[in-house]
């Protein structure tokens, strides 16, 4: 049974941390002020402004900073400042024993996928959603408003979107899991690989060639990740432009590798590396309704009730 952390209230302390690639505090000044305008007290992790090659400090520094936030009972939510690369280098050393006693929300996406999946595997709900580095990108306001309303009130709207491609229509209901395609593929054969049977899977990625996306989808299929899915949501696949060289489009790749399955598939979901990046409540039960050129999903029940 998935456990929901408590929702936030005015004056709660929250933390911002870069658990992977480095970032300076100057890059999140506006994001910090936004969280403070929500009534939150914002604490920055000890590894902010740290630098070790491309990382926000050494593995040890990043592990200590993240472990400190996970263990601190006064910190009610953790916003990962950015992704990049590096969370997988420390994921197996994290101790969740204190977190299980005092749950808190963890929010992030991209490289943070591996942390979200570790939480899910430990029956803790978390949020795939906007990070402080991305708070003020174009078309971010609605995503941030949905995030705020959920964190404080447990409310979540029905998300409806049009697609530029032909979907595979159908209806699905089940727990939603997923995240960055590269991280999901890299987790196969590890302790952070998720069991997708009976679930709705969502995927997104950035800066990948189509042949590499094809290779990753094939790997998911060969590993049984697509077997037993109830639905597949395809989010943003940003900055991909090599169809002439590879031959197949993103849609052709995914539909071709799922043709024998009867679950619905929708494209262009507002999830991932460009805004809007609507929050996804990992482990939440969703209804997915897919028609030829549009789709919608919603939480089956208001988690706040």
Domains of the chain by range and CATH?
13-153 (3.40.50.10740), 159-299 (3.50.30.60)
Sign of the torsion formed by the C-alpha atoms of 164, 170, 173 and 179: negative
Of 46, 54, 53, residue with least CA distance to 25: 46
Rounded to 5 degrees, φ, ψ at 67 are: -60, -40
Whether the per-residue pLDDT at 1 is higher than 70: the answer is yes
Read off the pLDDT of each residue in 171-175 and give the average, rounded to a whole number: 96
Contact between 111 and 85 (Cβ < 8 Å): yes
> What digits encode the pLDDT tens for the residues 8-59?
999 999 999 999 999 999 999 999 999 999 999 999 999 999 999 999 999 9
Average pLDDT value for the chain: 95
Give, as one character, the DSSP assignment of residue 253: H
CA–CA dist 65, 188 (Å, integer): 27
Give, as one character, the DSSP assignment of residue 36: H
**What's the pLDDT score for residue 18?**
98
**What's the pLDDT score for residue 67?**
98
**What's the pLDDT score for residue 244?**
74
Q: Which residue has the tokens 């902010």?
A: 48
DSSP 84-98: SS-GGGTGGG---HH
Chain Cα centroid distance, residue 185: 14
Read off the pLDDT band of 304 (50, 70, 90): very low
Read off the pLDDT band of 301 (50, 70, 90): low
Q: Is 152 exposed, middle or buried (0-12, 13-18, 19+ CB in 10 A)?
A: middle
Read off the pLDDT of each residue in 107-125 and give the average, rounded to a whole number: 98
**What's the pLDDT score for residue 148?**
98
List the catalytic residues: 110, 204, 273
CA–CA dist 114, 233 (Å, integer): 18
Read off the pLDDT of each residue in 209-233 and give the average, rounded to a whole number: 97
3-state helix, strand, coil in the chain (%, to 5): 30, 25, 45
Of 59, 27, 65, residue with least CA distance to 46: 65
Buried b (16+ CB within 10 A) or exposed e, 118-128: bbbbeebbbbb
**What's the pLDDT score for residue 300?**
78
């Amino acid at each position: 049974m998935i456990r929901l952390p408590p929702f936030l209230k005015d004056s709660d302390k929250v933390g911002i941390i870069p658990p992977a690639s480095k970032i300076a505090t100057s890059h999140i000044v506006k994001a910090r002020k936004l969280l403070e305008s929500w009534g939150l007290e914002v604490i920055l992790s000890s590894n902010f402004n740290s630098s070790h090659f491309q990382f926000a400090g050494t593995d040890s520094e990043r592990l200590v900073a993240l472990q400190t936030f996970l263990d601190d009972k006064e910190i009610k939510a953790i916003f990962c400042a950015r992704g990049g690369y590096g969370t997988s280098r420390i994921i197996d050393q994290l101790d969740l024993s204190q977190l299980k006693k005092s749950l808190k929300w963890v929010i992030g996406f991209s490289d943070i996928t591996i942390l979200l999946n570790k939480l899910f595997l430990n029956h803790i709900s978390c949020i795939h959603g906007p990070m402080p580095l991305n708070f003020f990108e174009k078309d971010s306001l609605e995503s941030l408003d949905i995030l705020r309303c959920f964190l404080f009130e447990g409310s979540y709207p029905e998300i409806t979107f049009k697609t530029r491609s032909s979907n595979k229509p159908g209806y699905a209901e089940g727990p939603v899991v997923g995240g960055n395609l590269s991280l999901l593929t890299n987790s196969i054969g590890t302790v952070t690989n998720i069991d997708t049977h009976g679930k709705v899977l969502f995927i997104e990625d950035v800066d990948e060639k189509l042949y590499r996306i094809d290779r990753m989808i094939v790997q998911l299929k060969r590993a049984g990740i697509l077997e037993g899915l109830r639905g597949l949501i395809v989010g943003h696949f940003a900055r991909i432009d090599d169809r002439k060289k590879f031959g197949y489009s993103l849609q052709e790749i995914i539909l071709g590798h799922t043709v024998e399955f009867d679950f619905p598939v929708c494209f262009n979901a507002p999830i991932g590396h460009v805004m809007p990046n609507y929050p996804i409540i990992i482990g939440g039960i969703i209804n997915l309704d897919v028609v030829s050129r549009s789709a919608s999903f919603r939480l089956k029940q208001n988690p706040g009730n």
